[in-house]
Amino acid sequence: MTDSRDEHRRNLGTFYADPALLLARQSSPAVGTAAEDFADWVLALLGGCAGLDVLDAGAGVGRFTTRLTRLTVAPGTVIALDLFCSMLETISGRVRPTPGLALVNGDIDHLPFRQGTFDLVLANHVLYHLRDIARGLDELARVLRPTGRFVATTNAGEARVPVIRLHREVAARTGYCSETDASPFSLENGAAILGAHFHHVETHVFASANHYASKQALVDAYATTGRYQLIAEALGEAAVLDLATTVACGWFDNCRDGLWGEVRMAAFVCTGARTTIAPQPNPVS
């Protein structure tokens, strides 16, 4: 019988098997500026992190961790936690050795920290990946100090993102079964979800745009996504790339200055955890 946790890890592994793909997505000419501006914008909302104990949960390749190590000074700490060791290895290669920085391999569903460990907990573009968001939020709230803040970021479910539109068109033309349901955690539903776990939830909206100067730029960006990895595995990489290029050609025939797409993301700043659960065994100090 397959363990659901192992299955969950495999599914996430399809999206994040190679940290280089996530780095490529975040540094793509079309989305890189918006992605970097967004990270700075989120941290600016907090007003300062000096001396705080911070958890970057689901840290990925360290887009926020690298900034936090510059903003958080002794005696504060920064802990980057991720499900995949490959992500943590990537962070290690990007961040200079910093006192108070620790990289921890772990699962948000079962955080290896004592109750009330952190002044600030970040969950950036990760909650929609959790098998059980309520369970994950209970854990994230548990390790937060009573006066601490929790920040969750995500995408707008209704934004017109070119790579997602491209994927859905490719999937429709091939008959591939693709996710089209609303995101389980988005700008539109995030505040309601978080309100069940925190007394105070502030919603902040980030708006920008991305630009693809050529069809190849769009197809290259699509090829870095987890959606592409799944369909290419099922149907063959060459066939999917050929079809994606054909679709993109049709779009660019009608775009004199390239293809523009909307970028809308949210940062939810939360305080006053409603509930906590019992501390987990064998905590990390």
pLDDT tens, N- to C-terminus, the chain (285 residues): 334 445 445 556 655 656 666 666 566 555 545 666 899 999 999 998 889 999 999 999 999 999 999 888 777 899 999 999 989 999 998 887 788 899 999 999 999 999 999 999 999 999 998 989 999 999 999 999 999 999 999 999 876 788 888 999 999 999 987 655 678 999 999 999 999 999 999 999 999 888 888 999 999 989 888 788 889 989 999 999 999 999 999 999 888 788 888 889 999 999 999 865 554 545 554
The pTM score is: 0.84
- Domain 4-157+182-208+263-273 fold is Rossmann fold (3.40.50)
First and final C-alpha spacing in the chain: 35
Strand partners, 79: 55, 102
Taking the C-alpha atoms of residue 15 and residue 232, their distance in angstroms, rounded to an integer, is 12
- Give the tens place of pLDDT for each residue, 115-153: 999 999 999 999 998 989 999 999 999 999 999 999 999
- Give the tens place of pLDDT for each residue, 104-116: 999 999 999 999 9
Find where tokens 């937060």 sit: 144
Taking the C-alpha atoms of residue 220 and residue 25, their distance in angstroms, rounded to an integer, is 9
